[in-house]
Amino acid sequence: MAIIQVSQLKKSFGTLDVLKSVSFEVNRNDVVAVIGPSGSGKSTMLRSLIHLEQVNGGTIRLLDQDLVREGVYASPQQIKQITAKMGMVFQHFNLFPHLTVRENLELAPRTVKGEADEIVRRKSAELLEKVGLSDKADNYPARLSGGQKQRVAIARALMMDPEILLFDEPTSALDPELTGEVLQVIKQLAKESMTMMVVTHEMGFAREVAGKVMFMDNGEFIESGTPDEMFGNPQFERTRAFLQKSLK
Amino acid sequence: MSAEYILNITKPMLEGAQMTILLFLVAIVLAIPLGFVITLLAKSSIKAVAWLAHAYVYVMRGTPLLLQLLFICFGLPLLPIVGEYLVFDRFVAACIGFVLNYAAYFAEIFRGGLLAIDKGQYEAAQVLGFSKWQTTTKIILPQMFRVALPAVSNESITLVKDTALLYAVAVPELLHYAQTAVNRDFTIVPFFIAGVIYLVMTLLLTLFFKWLEKRFKFE
ipTM metric: 0.94
Residue A1, pLDDT > 80, answer: no
Interface check B142 vs A, CB under 8 A: yes
Local structure of residue B79 (DSSP, 8 states) = S
The band of A119, judged by pLDDT with boundaries at 50, 70 and 90, is very high
Residue A221 placed within a domain:
no
* Minimal Cβ distance to A160: which of B118, B120, B128: B128
Closest CA to A89 of A178, A156, A11, A18: A156
Residue A81 placed within a domain:
no
- B5 Cβ contact list (under 8 Å, min separation 6): none
The average pLDDT across A13-36 equals 94
Residue B214, pLDDT > 90, answer: yes
What are the chain A neighbours of B139 within 8 Å (beta carbons)?
Answer: 96, 107
Residue A247, pLDDT > 80, answer: no
Tell if the CB–CB gap between B130 and A112 is shorter than 8 Å.
Answer: yes
Residue A8 placed within a domain:
no
Determine the topology of domain B23-172 in CATH: MetI-like fold (1.10.3720)
Domain segments of chain B: what residues?
23-172
Interface check B129 vs A, CB under 8 A: yes
Residue A214 placed within a domain:
no
The average pLDDT across B172-200 equals 92
Residue A105 placed within a domain:
yes
Cβ neighbours of A210 (radius 10 Å): 24
The phi and psi torsions of A68 (rounded to 5 degrees) equal: -145, 130
Contact call for residues B201 and B138 (beta carbons, < 8 A): no
Which residues of chain A are at the B interface, by a Cβ-Cβ cutoff of 8 Å? Answer: 50-52, 80, 83-84, 86-88, 90, 92, 94-98, 107-108, 111-113, 140, 142-143, 156-157, 160
Cβ neighbours of B26 (radius 10 Å): 17
Q: Which residue of A has its CA nearest to B124?
A: A94
pLDDT for A248 equals 66
pLDDT for A100 equals 96
Contact call for residues A138 and A100 (beta carbons, < 8 A): yes
Distance, CA of A115 to CA of A124 (rounded, Å): 12
pLDDT, one tens digit per residue, over B88-104 is: 899 999 999 999 999 99
For residue A148, the enclosing domain spans 95-161
DSSP element (H, E) containing B109: helix B90-115
Residues in chain B, how many?
219
Residue B1, pLDDT > 70, answer: no
Q: What is the mean pLDDT of chain B?
A: 93
pLDDT for A156 equals 98
Q: How far is CA B107 from the centre of its chain?
A: 11
The band of A224, judged by pLDDT with boundaries at 50, 70 and 90, is very high
Distance, CA of B42 to CA of B50 (rounded, Å): 4
Q: Which residue of B has its CA nearest to A108?
A: B128
The average pLDDT across A69-85 equals 95
Category of A114 on φ-ψ map: left (φ > 0), alpha (ψ -120 to 50) or beta? left
Distance, CA of A217 to CA of A40 (rounded, Å): 5
pLDDT for B84 equals 85
Tell if the CB–CB gap between B123 and A95 is shorter than 8 Å.
Answer: no
Local structure of residue B73 (DSSP, 8 states) = I
User: pTM for the full model?
Assistant: 0.87
Counting Cβ atoms within 10 Å, is residue A248 exposed (0-12), middle (13-18) or buried (19+)?
A: exposed
Q: Which residue of A has its CA nearest to B147?
A: A98
Residue B38, pLDDT > 80, answer: yes
Q: How far is CA A69 from the centre of its chain?
A: 22
H-state helical runs in A12-115: 42-49, 76-83, 101-111
Interface check B214 vs A, CB under 8 A: no
Residue A188 placed within a domain:
no
The C-alpha of A108 sits at a distance from chain B's nearest C-alpha, in angstroms, of: 6
Give me the number of domains chain A comprises. Answer: 1
Q: Which residue of A has its CA nearest to B118?
A: A94
Tell if the CB–CB gap between B123 and A108 is shorter than 8 Å.
Answer: no
DSSP element (H, E) containing B199: helix B189-215
The band of B85, judged by pLDDT with boundaries at 50, 70 and 90, is confident
Distance, CA of B185 to CA of B6 (rounded, Å): 12
Residue A138 placed within a domain:
yes
